[in-house]
Structure 1
Amino acid sequence: MAFSRVLLTLPSSLLFKFPPSSDPSTLPPPPAGSSLYAPPISIPTPLFGDVLDVRVPITIACVYAVTVLSLNSYNRSTGQKPWGISKWKSFFWFVVAHNIFLAVYSAWTFVGMLSALRRTVQNPTGNMGLAGTVDSLCKMHGIGGMGNAIVYEPESSAWVSESSSVLLGSAGTPDATDLGRLWNEGLAFYGWFFYLSKFYEVLDTLIILAKGKRSSTLQTYHHAGAMMCMWAGIRFMSPPIWMFVFVNSGIHALMYTYYTLTAFSVPIPQALKRSLTTMQIIQFVVGVFYATIHSFISYTIPVQVPISSSFASAASSVSSAVVSTTSASVADALKKYLLRAAGEEGLAENIAVDPSVHASLKSTGATQQFRTEYQTVSCIDTSGQTFAIWLNVLYLAPLTVLFCRFFIRSYMRMASGNVKKHGKVEKAGKDALKGVERMNGKADGATVNGNGHVNGNANRHANGHANGHANGHANGNANGNANGHANGHANGNANGKATNGKATNGKAH
């Protein structure tokens, strides 16, 4: 007995081209109220398509990058001093509102996508097995069930239904009211808003800059890259983009809740901070693998193929239908239908047949029959889907490496009591993870060994006659040695405890 199988195959070279084909156009989500699980609001079709124009994310990403570079330069010129606005009470509440909004929005998106996945993804232990699960994750359009998808064929530049029972809409595209596939069930709606949210998230960087801190190159790459990856996934309706929307929204809901709590100085266990970083790393690793595998997956589906009547069966049907007629009528009838079968309709019309033969043939006319065949189909259908997959892979790969380095340097060394000064790569990884530091008014980047505390930025000069740095080096008349003990009369207070593992309260020895 034939059954569906999942195969590992090499992708067609036709799917790898740049720039990718712009066909098909992105299909908007169903209008509100059109079905039981339709979106809560309708997105105007022109607006839906306009913001997916490639010039939108490219322009915003470029303006964002140039702005960050300029403001980083400005902050360096002012000695990394916080902007005046960052000291306003309204700025604090703006940061809190920003965090709460993104936490609630991310949770809403996560719940919406979870509901859509539960309705559409087939259970691998069901009748169709693993192939049914693969089909439900690979094919975005049509109705639920193996072999019921609607796919775009680049060769014919048209949408094609895999089943004779699943019809296209009046415009020759999948019907927006079809249910059972991920695009109509939620990905088109939640994915589009999640794409827009990547533009709003750049406020994280502006908050960092307003506090006088430096926004790392990696953070700029992180935000700009997320814009482009989400654009590609939604614009080309690429199957694995659902994971970006679903998993990333869940992690963001936790992260922005964490940032909200830290804004109010709520103590957060170190284990929770470590867990957030771990989830980010797992997200990147799984995301890279999951997106990549789509290009190498094929599977078999059942297809109903019409059975064509053969020349012999047509002749046999005619002869059996006219057994009660005279031999002349039988001969004329056979000749007429044989000519029609051969395509000679004009000659066939010149042959007269007894009306009783026509009636007999009509009553025994052949009906269309079908047989089930298993055909191999690729998970990915268009060059646009392939482009979106590999853009995400190239974006996530360096982030994965840098987050792993940050995790090792930050948490594993901290656990062993060997905290060292963070390098540029670690700081960049931390920026990309956190997006924005929520510790209002507290020092950023200060490194302390043991129980020593430093109030203020680590790179600020300590106040007092000794002009000692926060890292424990004394300048001027203090003639301090490297361990932070000042030898001399000038014993200025360094605004904090700054020793290599010991607290001296700024007193000279």
Structure 2
Amino acid sequence: MSFPTVSLSWPSSSLFRFPPSNDPLVLPPPQAGSTLSAPPFSIPSSIYIGALDVKVPITIASVYAVTVVSVNAYNRSRGNKPWRISKTRAFFCFVVLHNVFLAVYSAWTFVGMLGDLRASVQRSSGPAGLAGTVDSLCKIHGVSGLGHAVAYNGSESRWISQSPSTILLTDAGAPDSTDVGRLWNEGLAFYGWFFYLSKFYEVLDTAIILAKGKRSSTLQTYHHAGAMMCMWAGIRYMSPPIWMFVFVNSAIHTLMYTYYTLTAFSVPIPNTLKRSLTTMQIIQFLVGVAYAALHSFVSYSIPVRVPFFKEAISVTANATSSATATATATNIMDIIKKLLFRAVGGEGVAENVNAAHTPGIIEQTNPLGAGTIKYRTAYKTIPCIDTSGQTLAIWLNVFYLAPLTFLFARFFVKSYLRRTDKMTGHNSGIVEKAGSDAVKGVERSFNGGVGNGGKMNGNGKAGGQH
């Protein structure tokens, strides 16, 4: 093999275990100012790690589900009458501020993740080709460049540098927070964590619906509670495909909550735009499921240096102490160089410090006195996914999104396509109404009912949008 390749293969059965291994522990994002691409402010490690304790999403999701069921029953006993508070101006202002906040926050997350992707994802037209792109999406720790990643080896229970002569680990044996060029440190650790927390805040969508006397559907409860668990798993286990859910969903939410804000002020929204938003949500589910699942089956090759002759690698046990000192001095110099690169500009470990080599045969003097060793470039095939935790996060998202995708698509077909077929020959106004009804129905089921938008009625009080 003379060039890196990408292939599909069955994943190792060892990656499918429940509960998954707790290792590795989640790595907090870089501290503000530690690198040029560090986040705008620091998150204390204790808070970052504590929020990702599994008891947090389980407790909040359970309390949310029980509360929704109880309040649904209460509203039903009252004939689904709106609560008094929902007709006040204060409630209307709260709803508007809630939607504006989520629209702005989602846009902030989208822009941040866009910068992360630009800094991390390698183009397939680059020197490493498609394998370079796959490597930058599969391995989210370390520095940029094919074979320069740091990945967790579950069988050895430690982090492994794929390029040990180039990439330094911390004293604790973990990836360094100043390494740049990979998804985690470039922004996913930071924006992904806040996106996980936002799933708890979004339950206010349901609270607004309930305050209007409406019933929150079982599907909506499943949607919110499931999103908490899926985002927790993705960030806690640092699963590679979680970037897509943060990036794409924040873009959808920016549009969605902007739409809610506009409808709160009775701004007319063309039905074409409504249908486009619904279509984008369906595509988001379909692409997300396929993209996440694919990670379990993708493998690719990375360049490694191997001795050209087997006899060249034999090193005598009685190597002289002076030779050992020379080797140690050389390693120390490499370490100093790399630390200096970190200190000035914060660009992580420089790839050009004892870094990539020219393909072919390379001669290197053995510092332990065993003569000259000849190396050649070979290619080693590695899987995209390394741990059982990453696998859990992937398939939890797949099984969570699959029913949502199916129900969403079925509603779209019934509300758009079948109605359109039945109404052939009727006036276009009826078709437009069918489309509008479809949007409203889907939004009620999946996005908090759009009732959280609210609008002022003739008496100047806030009322339900629908």
Aligned to 1:252: 253
Deviations 1:285-335 (A, max 9, x none): 000100010000001110123567738x99xxxxxxxxxxxxxxxxxxxxx
Tell me if the contact between 1:219 and 1:428 (Cα under 8 Å) persists in the aligned partners: no
Aligned to 1:383: 388
User: Per-residue deviation at 1:369?
Assistant: 4.8
User: What are the residue-to-residue correspondences of 1:263-412 with 2, within 5 Å?
Assistant: 263-306=264-307, 310=311, 341=316, 366-367=371-372, 369-412=374-417
Which amino acid in structure 1 is aligned with residue 381 of structure 2?
A: T
Aligned in 2, Cα 1:384/1:439: closer, same or farther, shift over 3 Å? closer
Aligned in 2, Cα 1:429/1:399: closer, same or farther, shift over 3 Å? farther
Which amino acid in structure 2 is aligned with residue 153 of structure 1?
A: N
Aligned to 1:45: 45
Residues in 1 aligned to 2:367 and 2:94: alpha-carbon distance in whole angstroms: 80
Residues in 1 aligned to 2:32 and 2:223: alpha-carbon distance in whole angstroms: 34
User: What are the residue-to-residue correspondences of 1:73-88 with 2, within 5 Å?
Assistant: 73-88=73-88
User: Per-residue deviation at 1:408?
Assistant: 2.3
Higher relative contact order (CA 8 A, sep 6+): 2
Secondary structure at the aligned position of 1:125 is classed as coil
User: Per-residue deviation at 1:366?
Assistant: 2.3
Tell me if the contact between 2:141 and 2:184 (Cα under 8 Å) persists in the aligned partners: yes
Residues in 1 aligned to 2:369 and 2:101: alpha-carbon distance in whole angstroms: 70
In the alignment of these two chains, the number of paired residues is: 405
User: What are the residue-to-residue correspondences of 1:44-193 with 2, within 5 Å?
Assistant: 44-163=44-163, 164-193=165-194
Aligned in 2, Cα 1:363/1:251: closer, same or farther, shift over 3 Å? closer
Aligned to 2:197: 196
Aligned in 2, Cα 1:144/1:433: closer, same or farther, shift over 3 Å? same
1:241 aligns with 2:246: no
Which amino acid in structure 1 is aligned with residue 141 of structure 2?
A: H
User: Per-residue deviation at 1:373?
Assistant: 1.4
Residues in 2 aligned to 1:456 and 1:206: alpha-carbon distance in whole angstroms: 13
Tell me if the contact between 2:122 and 2:136 (Cα under 8 Å) persists in the aligned partners: yes
Residues in 1 aligned to 2:230 and 2:112: alpha-carbon distance in whole angstroms: 21
User: What are the residue-to-residue correspondences of 1:419-438 with 2, within 5 Å?
Assistant: 427=441, 430-438=444-452
User: Per-residue deviation at 1:442?
Assistant: 8.9
Aligned in 2, Cα 1:384/1:267: closer, same or farther, shift over 3 Å? same
Secondary structure at the aligned position of 2:159 is classed as strand
Residues in 2 aligned to 1:442 and 1:82: alpha-carbon distance in whole angstroms: 15
Secondary structure at the aligned position of 2:447 is classed as helix
**Structure 1 gap segments, 5+ residues each:** 315-339, 346-360, 444-454, 459-509
Residues in 2 aligned to 1:413 and 1:365: alpha-carbon distance in whole angstroms: 78
Tell me if the contact between 1:292 and 1:390 (Cα under 8 Å) persists in the aligned partners: yes
Residues in 2 aligned to 1:273 and 1:13: alpha-carbon distance in whole angstroms: 44
Residues in 2 aligned to 1:376 and 1:39: alpha-carbon distance in whole angstroms: 34
Aligned in 2, Cα 1:310/1:54: closer, same or farther, shift over 3 Å? same
Q: Give TM-score scaled by structure 2 length.
A: 0.81
Aligned to 1:15: 15
Aligned in 2, Cα 1:363/1:298: closer, same or farther, shift over 3 Å? closer
Which amino acid in structure 2 is aligned with residue 102 of structure 1?
A: L
Aligned in 2, Cα 1:381/1:187: closer, same or farther, shift over 3 Å? same
1:31 aligns with 2:31: yes
User: Per-residue deviation at 1:367?
Assistant: 4.7
Tell me if the contact between 1:142 and 1:148 (Cα under 8 Å) persists in the aligned partners: yes
Secondary structure at the aligned position of 2:59 is classed as helix
Residues in 2 aligned to 1:222 and 1:277: alpha-carbon distance in whole angstroms: 16
Deviations 1:174-195 (A, max 9, x none): 0000011000000000000000
Deviations 1:426-480 (A, max 9, x none): 957632135542453699xxxxxxxxxxx9999xxxxxxxxxxxxxxxxxxxxxx
User: Per-residue deviation at 1:372?
Assistant: 1.6
User: Per-residue deviation at 1:54?
Assistant: 0.4
Which amino acid in structure 2 is aligned with residue 243 of structure 1?
A: M
Secondary structure at the aligned position of 1:374 is classed as strand
User: Per-residue deviation at 1:127?
Assistant: 1.1
Secondary structure at the aligned position of 1:239 is classed as coil
Residues in 2 aligned to 1:260 and 1:134: alpha-carbon distance in whole angstroms: 39
Tell me if the contact between 2:302 and 2:380 (Cα under 8 Å) persists in the aligned partners: yes
Aligned in 2, Cα 1:387/1:365: closer, same or farther, shift over 3 Å? closer
Tell me if the contact between 1:218 and 1:429 (Cα under 8 Å) persists in the aligned partners: no
Which amino acid in structure 1 is aligned with residue 11 of structure 2?
A: P
**Structure 2 gap segments, 5+ residues each:** 320-365, 424-429, 458-462
Tell me if the contact between 1:403 and 1:429 (Cα under 8 Å) persists in the aligned partners: no
Residues in 2 aligned to 1:90 and 1:423: alpha-carbon distance in whole angstroms: 29
Which amino acid in structure 2 is aligned with residue 278 of structure 1?
A: T
Residues in 1 aligned to 2:71 and 2:220: alpha-carbon distance in whole angstroms: 14
Which amino acid in structure 1 is aligned with residue 444 of structure 2?
A: K
Residues in 2 aligned to 1:83 and 1:228: alpha-carbon distance in whole angstroms: 31
Give structure 1 regions of 4+ aligned residues with deviation exceeding 6 angstroms. 361-365, 455-458
Residues in 1 aligned to 2:291 and 2:368: alpha-carbon distance in whole angstroms: 57
Residues in 1 aligned to 2:465 and 2:120: alpha-carbon distance in whole angstroms: 52
Tell me if the contact between 1:110 and 1:250 (Cα under 8 Å) persists in the aligned partners: yes
Deviations 1:199-235 (A, max 9, x none): 0000000000001111000000000000000000000
Which amino acid in structure 2 is aligned with residue 33 of structure 1?
A: G
